[in-house]
Structure 1
Amino acid sequence: VPFSKEISVVAARGPGGEFAAYDVCENSHENHILKSTRVPARLPPEIAAEAVRLTRVIADALVYCGVITVEMFVTGGQGGDDGPIELLVNEIAPRVHNSGHWTLDGAATSQFEQHIRAIAGWPLGAVSRHDAEAGGHVEMDNLIGEDVLAWAKILGEPGASLHLYGKADARPGRKMGHVTRIVPRPVS
């Protein structure tokens, strides 16, 4: 399927149908492994709203409780004969998801806490993104294989939050950790 980008919606649904979705994620892959996530996705607002709506329809239809992530391909909309922008559901992950790891540092409530809140029947937490009102965005980069060897350099970056997974061997294609950066809006 030709597509212009892959996005994901990380959301939570409580046992009574309560629903909360984080900002839509824009994902980049290398060798079929998630390499980076940018939040919010660079999409027209109506397309982002439709992605969230589709995620809710899916979660409600499954009578799901907990965090769920729906990955979608964005097709069309590139001009010429590409046609209108469409969303095609690629994957449904009924769990916390790698593309939502940015929430640990970049959102009011992490996807992990949100999952516990949902399955325990507690009120869902706020899904607001840090620095959203100032026009910034959040970036999450997976440290794959030997990328993890740059951990000391990453720790020297102002505003970078490093998460190592404690895996002993840095093999090719193995997720060893991730780094989250809250990127302020450029001053013009």
Structure 2
Amino acid sequence: LKTFNGSGVLKTRRMGYDGKGQRVFRNMETAGFAGVCEAMGNVPLILESLVAFEREISVIAARGLDGSVAAYDPAENVHREGILRTSTLPAAIDPATATAAKDAAAKILSALDYVGVIGVEFFVLADGSLLANELAPRVHNSGHWTEAACVVSQFEQHIRAVTGLPLGSPARHFDCVMENLIGDDMLRVPALLNEPDLMLHLYGKAESRPGRKMGHFTRLIRPR
């Protein structure tokens, strides 16, 4: 923590997600660190430095059994309290950055000899360069928009990849915003059902709790 000037993100190495298993420190005196490891369960931890980034994006990509790769357009993600709230397409990045993100995802898939769908999250720095900050070896929350805005969703793409079928086109036909329904956001569902250009996906969870993802919706943005 002293090396990082009293700032960083402390994370559990396992079972951490959606803001769970994390503690953020900003300009903290190292003496205030006492007791934190015990409070986090005395499990193995990793401390990451804070990164000054402009925005976060993610690329959903797939690699088939034959080595072919298909990558969807980068989504711009907004998190609150460690939980993904929205993914917006297109991301507010220049074309060169979007191409670099797709190319990086393809290189990762090939280097790992990976088959299936993967989500790769990036920090976009002020100069447009990228830092990969997470690999999710599965279909990913930030790719749920593909259900509504693409002919072939990330879910179908994964099945195509692992069964040896040809990969489908990742082309996006609409701009869109995907938003997670978290906890009491479920109260918004009746109003959402009245929107014509909105795809709603509820997870069928019996109990709503603060911080619990209950579903998501994708709002299509039609050209004027």
Q: What TM-score does the superposition give when structure 2 sets the normalisation length?
A: 0.76
Question: Which among 130, 133, 139 is matched to residue 90 of structure 1?
Answer: 133
Q: Give yes or no for the alignment of 1:69 onto 2:101.
A: no
Query: Over alpha carbons, which structure has the higher Rg?
Result: 2
Letter in 1 for 2:72: Y
Q: Give yes or no for the alignment of 1:41 onto 2:91.
A: yes
Q: Indicate the SS of the match to 2:192.
A: helix
Work out the CA distance in 2 between the residues paired with 1:170 and 1:122: 38
What are structure 2's unaligned runs of at least 5 residues?
1-50
Alignment deviations for residues 132-162 of structure 1 (CA, whole Å, 9 cap, x no partner): xxxxx11100000100111010001121111
Alignment deviations for residues 54-103 of structure 1 (CA, whole Å, 9 cap, x no partner): 00110100000000110000111xxxxxxx22100000011000000011
Quote the offset at 1:126 in angstroms. Answer: 1.2
Contact 1:130 1:182 in 2 (8 A): no
Q: Which has the higher contact order (CA 8 A, sep 6+)?
A: 1
Alignment size in residue pairs: 174
Q: Runs ≥4 in structure 1, deviation > 4 angstroms? A: none
Q: Give yes or no for the alignment of 1:113 onto 2:156.
A: yes
Quote the offset at 1:116 in angstroms. Answer: 0.3
Work out the CA distance in 1 between the residues paired with 2:158 and 2:90: 21
Q: What TM-score does the superposition give when structure 1 sets the normalisation length?
A: 0.90
What are structure 1's unaligned runs of at least 5 residues?
77-83, 132-136
Q: What percentage of aligned pairs have identical amino acids?
A: 53
Alignment deviations for residues 106-150 of structure 1 (CA, whole Å, 9 cap, x no partner): 11101000000000010001111123xxxxx11100000100111
